[in-house]
Structure 1
Amino acid sequence: MAEHSDGGQDLVGRRDLIEEVTAAISGTQYLGAILVGEAGVGKTALAHSVARQLDGNAAVLPISASPSLRKVPFGALSPYLRTLSINDVGSSVAVYRSIMAHLETSTNGDMLTPLFLVDDSHELDDSTSVLLSQLVTGRRARILALSRTTPGPMSELGSLWQDGLLNRYEVQPLTADEVHELCERELGGDVLASVSITLGATSGGNPMFLLALLRQGRRSGYLGVRNKVWRLVGHAPPLDLSLVDLIKSRFRRRSSEEIAVLETLSLAEPMPFDALVQCTDRQAVATLHEDGLITVSGGRERVASLSHPLYGEVIRHDVPAGRSLAIRRQVLNLLDKQSSSADGFLRFVGWGLDCGLPPDDKTLLHAAVVANRLYDADFALRAARAVHTPDLRGSSLVEIARAQMMRGNLPYAREIVDEVLEQCTSFLLAKDASLLSVALHVRGSNPPEAIRTDAARWQRIVEQIAADSGNDPAVLIGASVSRNGYRILEGFALNYEGRFVEAEAVLRDILADQYCTDEVRLAGLTLLGEALGSTGRGIEGASATNEALQIIASHGHQFVAHWEFVVTRHFLSLAHAGCWDDIEELLERFIRSKPGGPSPFSGMNEIAQGLISLRKGLMRTARTCLILAVEGLRESDQNQLMPMALGLAAFACAMVGDTTRARTYAADFAAGEGNGTRQARLIGKIHVIAANALFQGAAKSIEELRVVAARAEGDGMDVLAALTLELSARLGDERCFDQLARLTDNFEGPEGAVISAMAKSAALRDPGGLVEAARLAQSAGYLLIAAECLGKAVKFLSQRGEEHRSRSIQQQLNQIVAQLEGLQSPQFSQVHSTSKLTQREQDIARLAANGYTNRDIALEQGVSVRTVEGHLYRIFAKLGITRREELPGGGDTTSTG
């Protein structure tokens, strides 16, 4: 059932279906409805909701069919046949009369329509099925029948549907969004996307299975909560016994041949259909497929699987060890180790190790590489440690080090990598070990310098190999390819430092080289996309990173290890351009569709959603998403997004008045400020500065932001400079618009166009231009910027005395501000009144409204107490108020006085 544990909540994702079924039963077109779906999908809960909707219009008579009553004529009707004598129990006429008498009694003369609610109607005996059909077709009652998808409703009720007398509804599993909603409802708090994605995949969207997994996860500690956010902890526990029994009930009537098919698939799924029928019974396979217990994919390579993710786990548990070994050996002889499926290939290798028939060392090494690319460190270690060929020892050590890095054993991984590079005589091994060394170094201090050290070591190894080759042409070509590899690291280091203009020149030179391989090309395009997006060319940058993604897709699993590196930078390029729909598509393709616990993409979905919401002005949504993003990145932050996430979260919390969390995230940012790329650190820093305006006053934050903006522009970090100036303007800086307009004039994408239009009109103090900029911003979804444009227009018109136009625009502003989800920024409070205050007066008013004493304000602002008192006197006079409680901009409930 898709109900919350207390049974009092509406069903998740079923509202429209409830309305449709209710209408079908109470209308004149049909005599009832049939709900069809797999066990646990929520048919019973849905039927009870329909019955509640019909309360007062129908007398509900529940009927529960079961396998034990299926051979008993009218057995399911026994609760309504208590007045029958023993001699009349087998009489259809007597049973009919008894049911009719019960129907008359149940309505109590209220002219209510009797409604049979038949659970598990596929288990009805023939006599009951016929009788219910007669009552329905005779307009004596209506029916709501619930049935499994297979074998489906009994023939009599099925005939009523085929005749158009009953409407049939398929009750589908929950969608991904509905799974997430149910997880949040059941756990009673915010939930990381990785939790709902993983549990959704495991449960197959089945509400009953999902609820069982959630409750078991809480009991076992697999689901843990930190800072009010639920996440996955460790490995999934064994399934709850009640859930196991429910699943086993689906297989209890199966023949021995069908059980053999299910056991084989539980161990080998997904497996080629032809291999399955070779080692089992073809007719049994056909029967299970017809009954919906197994699925067979179409296409050139037909692949068979169990129809639900949990079936395999339950069946595998009951297969004896000897039989499991026999099945694996039998299947092993039929499968090709060159399976197109990575999971299938790893299963082939794993079975060989289990059965004492391991594949050759090259296959074992390839399995370790594939397992590491799929973030399965345990299998990678198992396969790599089984490699014994001396020539493959270096490569196997690299995969062992990579697996140890994923496990968090960084010193051990570093020791292995350095050992490999000291003795390296192979171009391929030098590349793999050097790239792994870089991955380890970006987790340490001063990554750019460490990256250059890795590049220099790689270069020395390449030159030594080339010198020892005696001018072998093949070796010289290999050296040329390798040179582009270590040159790529220089581009990476330059991007890391925010030196994007220099990086662009290096990367374009590499991409034009004749020895630029596909792997070097995808790395070069990715870094080039990052550089372009960071200098205002987000569309061109996203095109480059998208080409890199296409290279990965066209090479099967060869380059899958580069996914997170490319996807992260593709997301950032799209974000710089403001291509929100493209980001949604990216998340769907690469993140939401990948179940699992902590992964390189942990927190990515949330930070993307939070950034989009923040830019659109949906502040409450942004705050929630960014809080989740921070918790997700605490699990895994291979892409070093935490500094940015902390700054964005601090700012979003400040914008909705959550000052406690804003202070916490600002402190966390300060504690780890040296981590991440320079751009990620600065994005976090400027948002922390903007958030701190609530505590230190806008004037101080504006000056700090202007320093960052000037330095960023001087270093060629144009997008960062523009974002910094935008935040400064948000705090009331009127001096920044000329610079902001100049920076964004040639920016690509919707975001650049919106900010440029706003900056140009604000620089000219042009109300008409600001109104047009607001329209552009609103059409592009930038509600916050639209509100800011209209707010400035109101201010400028009021200063000119054009009150009529000002009031008209004020109405538009009020409508947009209402959509900004709990925004408590003082800039939109009492627009007319606060526009009369100077910046210093606004800062003092805000601090006073947040409970600061006059002495505290004096210390914060660097003035005397008497000066503060004078400012407050003038503020009260301008605003026409007499008490601090009436000051606009309050929100920080912490008093320092």
Structure 2
Amino acid sequence: MGRQVLVTQILQQLSEAHRYGALVVGEPGLGKTALSRAIVDALADEVTVIHIGAQPSLKKVPYGAIAPYLTDLSVADAGSPIAIYRALTKHLGQLKPGTPAPLFVVDDAHDLDDSTSVLLTQLIATRKARALVLARPTPGPPSEFLALWHDHILHRYDLAPLNLEEIHELCVRELGDQILSSVITLLSKTSEGNPMFLLALLHSDAREKFLVERNGVWCLSGERPEIDLRLTDLIRGQLRGRTPAELEVLETVALAEPVALSILRTICDPEAIDDLARDQLVGFSGGFDKGVALTHPLYGEVIRAHVPIGRSIAIRRRLLTLSEYQTGSIEGFLRWVSWGLDCGTVIDDATLLRAAIVANRLYDHAFALRAAREVQAPELRSRALVEIAHARMTRGDFSYARELIDETLQNCVSLRIAKEATLLSIDLRMRSRSNSAEIQGDADRWADTIDRIEQQAGASDRSLRVSRLGCRLLTCFVMNLEGRYQESEKHLLELRDHPEGTDETRIAALALLGEVLGATGRALAGAAATADALAIIAGHGHRFLRHQEFVITRHGMSLVRAGSWKEVGTLLADYPQSTDGGMMHFGGMLEFFEGVVALRQGKMRTARKRLILAVEGFRESDIAQLMTLSTGMAAYACAMAGDSAGAQQYASEFAALPAYGPLQARLLGQIHVAGAEARFKGAAGSIAELRRIAHYASTSGMTALAASALELAVRLGDTASLAPLGEITSGFEGVDGAVVHSMALAMRAKDAAALESAAIQARDADYLLIAAECFGTAANVLAHEGQGQRARALQSPLNELIEKLEGLQRPQFSDSQSATKLTERERDIVTLAARGYSNRDIAEQQGVSVRTVEGHLYRIFAKLGISRREDLRDVDPT
């Protein structure tokens, strides 16, 4: 898996006269043995293969690795290199004459004894044998084989971990192709591309602890992968033979990673640290004081699980005595607090509260609960309750989280706690599918709390004014949910530039403004606003991490509306791995955007697959409230891909969903359901529904939504929607608006040249469905105008596009094909006429009258756009 190119390269090396083998170097578990099996299988009928398996126990035994081939050697000659050489060459000499030199496959060559290494390299150097040598980079292949590599007799290949695409391929082989991207990302991070580790994680005993199959789709269960016995044995076997000093370093680093190198050298043997670094078991990060960590995360999991509790506490106490340890990474800070709690160290309440806040931001909710529950100071207890509610909410305990939030806000006297509790309440309402009125109720309660705090304080300060900015932003959020974009935009522009605004208020204002701009046809400006919000988040580390998914959702939608496919791809590649825990909370977000892009491009089978995955992901986590939209789009993609049963299923699911989330998302889902239902209920009702939604959206200022409804109506054959579609999209920003606008104008004018130009514009922008529709319509127009030759010229680019549409067929495509395609009788007549046969000769050949032949020729000339019989010689009748 993922090594096919390498197998081909090595086989090519083994076939070259001046090369006598290959040296493959790779870490344990990367697949060296599997690679050698593939090569041996390919050479099975061509060469004799001799396997040599080196073992650590035989490394100091001269010729121990080749003992099975020296059975005829006398006791007296057992210590003679010359006798052993002759015995082995004699064994090789018993091979069939004329056969190629035998191939030695040396596994674990790093454990090969010196005597065997010298003997094998002599055989290779004298061209009496070839070799496929497999070794780990540390301690590395024997020097004799390295010398052959430097002399260009052996070619070296360094085996790399599997990349993300290859990991996905392996997961598909083991689980099937219905896998959420979050699963692939988690497995990639955990295994780091090591096939052996990855297969161990995918084993049925291991995967049931962190994966769940729902409706045929593999999703994360919310737990982290656990190390099972099979994987533990693999890793512990690779760590055998390390000295006690090295094991102490490994245990300390595993418990504390990343730990500052200066601290590690204080409590551990510096020489052991250097040896482990040289063997690539530990690595260093940059910075003034390098951080030390294990090179593979699974090594740390196994070591931590097997450090005795007494020894673990002793190591942690030694580290806790070094006060500078807690000033390292944020992960190191959390570990320091956790150790302090384990070891009975007194930790002040402010530190515990900070640890709970950070843990929640990093999605470590178990530790957030533990730290927050330890907070005892009355002045900090309310803030700790907010963090407990946060952790409870993420674990799915919505009712208890709601009780804690309401209790906190009831007599709140802190502006900061009021803000945090209100934002958490909004988050909880989004997860529990509450409506906009309930969210506005939270905003009103926040405003009342601010007023009460102001009266109790007896003065007004900047904190009060910033809090009121937050209330206004929350009201704008509600306006956006209700589709009141024109009203919201005025407030958001003021809030974005407010002189007393903070980075956090600017993030919210920019994200909401980006949503407004994208929904009203200004997708490029919307994407610029949300990009600015993401830049602020990136500049503050973990501080605003909780806002990231809120902004990413709106940024992605603006990019899609702009037709910026490359930027969408970059977004999907960058953000899933931005935090370890965040992947789980993306739910089906990645699949959703991939499906939306495929749908927009016209790749319906791909869109169907990705959107079905998105629906399953959103069943687990739908923070952005995209379930209604993805369900409606899944119904449409199923219908367009020919899956009527799937279309009906998702249309029924959409109808059963409660009315929650952004109005625009609900209406866009409804638009796609109407398009889907046209396949099994007829187009008339769907067109009427689409026109109704378009009118409502247009009068409400939701112009992007109106354009979507009109475009689907046009696709169903409603030419009356072309005029309003062209008018609405005339001012749209981005490629998407330009493509749809050109299509609408050209189709309305029935101008073949304009349609062909619009088709080329759409094709170049990867709007394949619109391009095919324009080409097909242009061909029909030309055929009806009697310009058959020009119509036939469009058939080739149309056919290329139809192929890319994954088999999708539309009426205008088949109409254009039938309008220019010759019948079987017409093709026969063209062939005979091109050869010079007269009309009477053709009539006799075909068994028809001369008048019938003349009628056929008239229709042929119209289809082909010619007027002379001589032009038939240049026609391909097929």
Q: Shared topology, TM-score over 0.5?
A: yes
Matching of residues 244-393 of structure 1 within 5 Å: 244-334=232-322, 336=324, 339=327, 341-393=329-381
Give distance in 2, aligned partners of 1:801 and 1:235.
67
Cα drift, residue 830 of structure 1: 5.2
Distance 1:185 1:277 in 2: 45
Q: Is the 8 A contact 1:430 1:458 kept in 2?
A: yes
Aligned ranges 1:113-192 → 2 under 5 Å: 113-192=101-180
- In structure 2, relative to structure 1, the CA distance for the partners of 1:501 and 1:832 (3 Å cut) is same
Structure 2 partner of 1:82 = 71
- 1:650–1:415 distance in 2 versus 1, CA, 3 Å: same
- Note if contact 1:349-1:358 (Cα within 8 Å) is conserved in structure 2: no
Aligned partner of 1:233 among 221, 234, 237: 221
Question: Where does residue 786 of structure 2 map in the other structure?
Answer: 801
Residues 1:822 and 1:756: Cα distance change in structure 2 (over 3 Å): same
- Give 1:96 deviation, angstroms: 1.9
Tell me how far 1:286 sits from its aligned partner.
0.5
Q: For 1:121 and 1:404, how far apart are their aligned partners in 2?
A: 53
> Which residue of structure 1 aligns with residue 186 of structure 2?
198
Q: Are 1:624 and 2:609 counterparts?
A: yes
Residue of structure 2 equivalent to 1:40: 29
> How far does residue 832 in structure 1 lie from its aligned partner after superposition?
4.2
CA offset digits 1:272-299 (Å, max 9, x no partner): 2222111111111010000011111123
Equivalent of 2:471, from 478, 486, 490? 486
User: In structure 2, the residue corresponding to 1:298 is in which secondary structure?
Assistant: coil
Distance 1:741 1:301, change over 3 A: farther
Q: Using the alignment, how far apart are the partners of 1:39 and 1:210 within structure 2?
A: 13
Deviations 1:298-340 (A, max 9, x none): 2334111111111111111221111100111111222547645
Matched residue type, 2:502: T
C-alpha change, 1:740 and 1:148, in structure 2 (3 Å) is: same
Within 5 Å, give how 1:617-766 maps onto structure 2: 617-766=602-751
3-state SS of 1:401 partner: helix
Aligned-partner residue type, residue 638 of structure 2? C
Letter in 2 for 1:613: A
Please state if 1:54 is matched with 2:46: no
Per mean C-alpha deviation after superposition, the further-off stretch among 437-446 and 129-138 is 437-446
For 2:187 and 2:106, locate their aligned partners in 1 and report how far apart those are by CA, in whole Å. 31
Larger mean CA deviation between 823-832 and 309-318 belongs to 823-832
- Find 1:569's aligned residue among 554, 560, 563: 554
More deviation in 150-159 or 443-452?
A: 443-452
What SS does the corresponding residue of 2:804 show, helix, strand or coil?
coil
Cα contact 1:643–1:669 (8 A) shared by 2:
yes
Matched-pair contact (CA < 8 Å) for 2:54–2:109: yes
Matched, 1:522 2:497: no
The SS at the match of 1:591 is helix
Q: Matched residues in 2 for 1:372 and 1:835: separation?
A: 65
Secondary structure, aligned partner of 1:88: coil
Identify which range, 270-279 or 824-833, moves more after superposition: 824-833
| Greater mean alpha carbon deviation, residues 331-340 or residues 194-203 | 331-340
Matched, 1:506 2:482: no
Is the partner of 2:283 in helix, strand or coil?
A: strand
User: Shift in Å at residue 511 of structure 1?
Assistant: 1.8
Matched to 2:410, the amino acid is E
CA contact (8 A) 2:435 2:659 kept: no
Whole-Å separation in 2 of the counterparts to 1:440 and 1:234? 18
Give the distance between the partners of 2:752 and 2:649, measured in 1 at CA.
39
Partner residue of 1:103? 92
**Partner in structure 1 of residue 841 of structure 2:** none
d(CA) in 2 for partners of 1:489, 1:645:
25
- CA separation in 2, counterparts of 1:340 and 1:622? 45
Q: What per-residue deviation string (whole Å, max 9, x for no partner) do you get for residues 528-555 of structure 1? A: 0111111111111111111111111112
- Distance between the aligned counterparts of 1:302 and 1:449, measured in 2? 52
What is the SS of the residue equivalent to 1:370? helix
Distance 1:191 1:649, change over 3 A: same
Gaps of 5+ in 2: 822-878
Counterpart amino acid of 1:92? P
Contact 2:576 2:583 in 1 (8 A): no
| CA–CA distance in structure 1, aligned partners of residues 338 and 264 of structure 2 | 19
Letter in 2 for 1:168: R
In structure 2, relative to structure 1, the CA distance for the partners of 1:283 and 1:173 (3 Å cut) is same
Instruction: Measure the CA separation in 1 of the matches of 2:43 and 2:739.
Output: 52
Q: Name the CA distance, whole Å, in 2 between partners of 1:287 and 1:370.
A: 35
Other structure's SS at 2:24 match? strand
| 1:91 lines up with 2:80 in the alignment | yes
Distance in 2 between residues matched to 1:553 and 1:209, nearest whole Å = 32
Q: Is the 8 Å Cα contact of residues 530 and 541 (structure 1) preserved in structure 2?
A: yes
Contact 1:656 1:825 in 2 (8 A): no
Separation (CA, whole Å) in 1 of partners of 2:159 and 2:584: 33
* Secondary structure of 1:25's aligned partner: helix
Rate the CA distance shift 1:533–1:34 in 2: closer, same or farther, 3 A: same
User: What percentage of residue pairs aligned between the two structures are identical?
Assistant: 50
Residue pair 2:788, 2:820 contacting (<8 A) in 1 also: no
- Return the offset for 1:572: 1.0
2: CA distance between counterparts of 1:262 and 1:617? 53
Q: By how many angstroms is 1:445 displaced?
A: 6.1
2:3 aligned partner? 14
**1:327 & 1:240 partners in 2: Cα distance?**
25
User: Is the CA contact (8 Å cut-off) linking 1:495 and 1:531 kept in structure 2?
Assistant: yes
- Distance of 2:8 and 2:251 partners within structure 1: 41
Cα distance change of structure 1 residues 78 and 334 upon mapping to structure 2, 3 Å threshold: same
Q: In the comparison of the two structures, how many residue pairs are matched?
A: 821
The one-letter amino acid paired with 2:692 is V
Q: CA separation in 2, counterparts of 1:490 and 1:340?
A: 40
Partner of 1:603: 588
TM superposition shift of 1:343: 1.6
Q: Report deviation, 1:798.
A: 2.0
1:841 corresponds to: none
Distance 2:290 2:225 in 1: 32
Shift of 1:805: 1.1
**Superposed displacement of residue 28, structure 1:** 3.3
TM-score by length of 2: 0.91
SS in 2 for 1:735: helix
- Please list the CA deviations of residues 211-236 of structure 1 after superposition, one character each: whole Å capped at 9, or x if unmatched: 11101456745433222211233535
* RMSD, matched Cα: 1.9
Residue 444 to residue 288, structure 1, CA distance change in 2 (3 Å): closer
- Structure 1: give runs of 5+ residues left out of the alignment: 1-11, 837-897
Q: 1:73 & 1:136 partners in 2: Cα distance?
A: 19
Compare 578-587 and 384-393 and name the one that shifted more: 578-587
Q: How far apart, in 2, do the equivalents of 1:102 and 1:299 lie?
A: 58
* TM-fit CA distance, 1:190: 1.6
1:825 offset after TM fit, Å? 4.7
Distance 1:527-1:202 versus aligned 2 partners, 3 A rule: same
**Is the deviation greater in 410-419 or in 821-830?**
821-830
Letter in 1 for 2:60: K
| Change in CA separation of 1:797 and 1:681 when aligned onto 2, cut-off 3 Å | same
**Which whole-Å CA distance do the structure 2 matches of 1:446 and 1:268 have between them?**
43
Structure with bigger gyration radius: 2
